[in-house]
Structure 1
């Protein structure tokens, strides 16, 4: 299996008590810098398919078919890795759903539970029971599962552009910086996915919203993935759900970290973190940055307190000139509202969707640079404007270029 199923620690791997990579909160609590999961995982014992909710759309795969489809889970088929295990690229026949030759049939992503993993059967089952019942354009599609002896696998639609995290933070020729236009498109799609989960139709709290869980299709449409930590929302008039603290450090809402009380507004806070990551191009936690800049929220706080004057200072320099000042202010102001400490003062995800739709609908031609040029040009007066109109060359487009 190569290094994929080794014990290396990554951004989604549990750190047990006493692990070396830790942060200390303002209240003195020791918090993991990674995914916050209970030290004891659910034991991987054989369970029957009677635990899986009925779903007419899910296929039950044989382990051997998935083994062949992924070329025996070869290391060069690995798409990603998390606390659950590795995700492999594979191919199946579009009619029989049996293994197909590479490059033929339907491309799939196969997530294989690491038998030594920290999440275990409970989270594997949660993925099936949520994604087997929930349907929305901004949720990744679960094609089926495999439950055979000790093997537990999930089969998803393949998302060719990978995760938002890779596009924002990986420095390689494969991941060019996303344009401002694409970032706002991704933000809107992800917001629509969360709004659906919070709707009366679904009533689900996602609980692990972060850049690595937002996957992109070939047209940069965003889809939420990884529902292992999702929870049913409050029922019977309750205001919150009480749970063990689980999620990823930096993205989890402060009131949830302090009390274990989970609400839909906890997801709204996490959305605000990711939106700020998209605006700044910075990870929420990055120990490779200079002292005082490790925590994105703390670093940005002085700038966010005076957005109108200082918004340019937090914008990702890689997309300089691709946005209007108005767009930058609106997007950053929305992030600030989502990050409000008091949960009841945060907007609902429905309101967030409306704000992002208005941001896209009101896009004006031109960028920060273009606006400065236009102001300078107006000083030349009508005479110079007449000369420009007399020229036969087409005007250069100032519409932001998509990547």
Structure 2
């Protein structure tokens, strides 16, 4: 199908190109010209110069005799390429050269600067700007102003009063070259007093661009000390009007104006090598053009037909996907996830006799107010979550699939199949999903009202400071208990997306781990899962999984280590504003712990350093996080051991409050140092 669409687009483009045709001669008496004597465009001084400007040494030959400009009269540009950096100059009346600073072909303006002011701190202005009569250039009506220079002035003869102070006049303080008398400049045309012109030996007016220097007293105060040089170097603008004279009609027809050396109009130079009186004439509709238009029409009809067929095909396939996904969802309720039925993926594991409640789409639509934006709780891994209330009064969270793409459907079915077999107080309760006959795929969970741990650590609820250290330690214990349950059931489940945004808090701040869209079922023999591409959230993904594409239960341990680092630091897992080697919180935590700089990692408001029991507990949690964040997965402890350690820290803290005694575990000396388990409790109760 994509190949057919590409073919159709190519046909359409070919039809358009053929339908354009070519201009043909409109007059039988057209003269010939030699266009090879003029360059189409040339580069000079970093500028791309082309018609209506042209090189000053170029001209055309018309009828073998007539000499013609290659552009508009008075717009010949000289390119001085004798130096390493070429300079484009334009000569105005009086033989004065001006450096070309820029050409704006869209707005028909050229910016020039006096070539004499490029050198020296206090250059002299020795001429006024005059434009040749035959030139097409004129001063732009806006954007230009002037500076008047009054050189070598003596007031003893003509002026009987003291000189006027600024802002009317600015004395020139530069030395040398200005004569024996005093010299001034004014940011307006002419002298403030008629006597000034008679008292000064030379008066010149230089055009400049309008700028802040005209209105700023600070800028004007620097003009007399050489600051006017920078103003002159910015140049001034001239414009040309292509709509004036016979050139408008000629250029509109695709030609170029031709003028003889005295400045008289010769004719319109056309692309077929002929010169016509006013324009290149209308395009003739040839037989080839008619055929081209027919091809274009046929290509257009074919294009529309293919679009219609493609639309119907995509629509039918989408409907088929929805039906297939519904069937797969029904299979998951009776024999496992879709992949487990194939028997070729490690997701297999015998999900039997799952009792999943099927909700009617209309009921969930009603419960969420028609999926109102005001009910939106957030975005999950592949769907938007809405708050709702069922008819029996239960508050629920409804996840709505973004679209029915194959990957999203697989994740949806995977989450439904896994959640249907899980029961633990620290896992979000799964109420059910829509049936195979539903118009959309929806998952229904218990509503957890207190937001996510990320909300309280770095999000919009961080200012509430509702998670003091004892609550944070309890969050770590309960989240580890949930993961230990997942890793211990038959078959084990690897969550694959452990992060603080997936750890919810109920009204009593108890943990509810959620979002199992990326989870995988594992066999009990401990084999690794090899995936085509690592999935997860940046900052939490196991680096060994990212490099080797091998997923194990220790991948969850690494992610949980990042969660522990967040709990003690209140810092996000990824922050591009931090130093390069500390953008990932995992790298920051390992480095700070290794360098005994824990005080620079821990959130100061938790009481670290001020309360002895809290300081010892945070230190032990940090060391647990250190073990979880090892690059080599074999060096990480299993989640059961992490849970035992956290419970030991929690119980030790309670005993410390009663007996003021805490046992601190030994800290590893390096990343690869052995660690003695601090298990203080018997086997985990699940």
- For the pair 1:357 / 2:647, whether they are aligned, the reply is yes
1:45 and 2:337 aligned: no
Aligned equivalent of 1:242, options 512, 527, 530 = 530
Q: What is the aligned counterpart of 1:313 among 600, 605, 608?
A: 600
Q: Is 2:623 aligned against 1:327?
A: no
Distance across 1 between alignment mates of 2:462 and 2:420: 36
Q: Does 1:162 align with 2:488?
A: no
The farther-off stretch of 340-349 and 314-323 is 314-323
Provide the residue aligned with 1:124 in structure 2. 412
Written as runs of structure 1 = structure 2, the 5 A alignment for 1:198-217 is 198-217=487-506
Aligned equivalents of 1:44, 1:172: Cα separation in 2 = 40
In the alignment, is residue 267 of structure 1 matched against residue 590 of structure 2? no
How far 1:70 moved relative to its partner? 0.6
Measured in 2, the distance between the counterparts of 1:131 and 1:178 equals 28
What's 1:80 paired with? 378
Secondary structure of residue in 2 paired with 1:133: coil
| Residues 174 and 77 (structure 1), Cα distance of their counterparts in 2 relative to 1, 3 Å cut | farther
Q: Which has the higher contact order (CA 8 A, sep 6+)?
A: 1
Say if 1:83 and 1:118, in contact at 8 Å, map to a contact too. no
2-side partners of 1:140 and 1:117: how far apart?
26
Q: Give the equivalent residue in structure 2 for 1:370.
A: none
**Equivalent residue of 1:362, what SS?**
helix
| Unaligned 5+ runs, structure 1 | 1-42, 95-104, 367-403
The residue aligned with 1:296 is 585
Looking at structure 2, the residues matched to 260 and 44 of structure 1 have their Cα atoms a distance apart, in angstroms, of 29
Asked if structure 1 preserves the Cα contact closer than 8 Å seen for 2:381 and 2:515, the reply is: no
Q: Does structure 1 residue 140 correspond to structure 2 residue 424? A: no
Root mean square deviation, CA, Å: 2.3
Q: For the residues of structure 1 that align with 2:358 and 2:631, how far apart are their CA atoms?
A: 44
Q: Give the Cα–Cα distance (whole angstroms) in 1 for the partners of residues 364 and 526 of structure 2.
A: 42
Distance 1:270 1:143, change over 3 A: same
Shift of 1:182: 0.8
1:109 aligns to what SS in structure 2?
A: strand
Q: Does 1:91 find its partner at 2:389?
A: yes
Aligned pair partner of 2:486 in 197, 204, 207: 197
SS in 2 for 1:86: strand
Q: 1:318 to 1:238 in 2, by over 3 A?
A: closer
Deviations 1:257-309 (A, max 9, x none): 011111111111111011111111111111244555422122233311044xx
Q: Is the 8 A contact 2:333 2:354 kept in 1?
A: no
Q: Which moved more, 1:51-60 or 1:140-149?
A: 51-60
The TM-score normalised by the length of structure 1 is 0.72
Partner of 1:337: 627
Q: How far does residue 141 in structure 1 lie from its aligned partner after superposition?
A: 0.7
Asked if structure 2 preserves the Cα contact closer than 8 Å seen for 1:168 and 1:177, the reply is: no
Inter-CA distance 66–175: structure 2 relative to 1 (3 Å threshold)? farther
Confirm or deny: 8 A CA contact 2:333 2:356 kept in the other structure.
no
Instruction: Give secondary structure in 1 for the equivalent of 2:657.
Output: coil
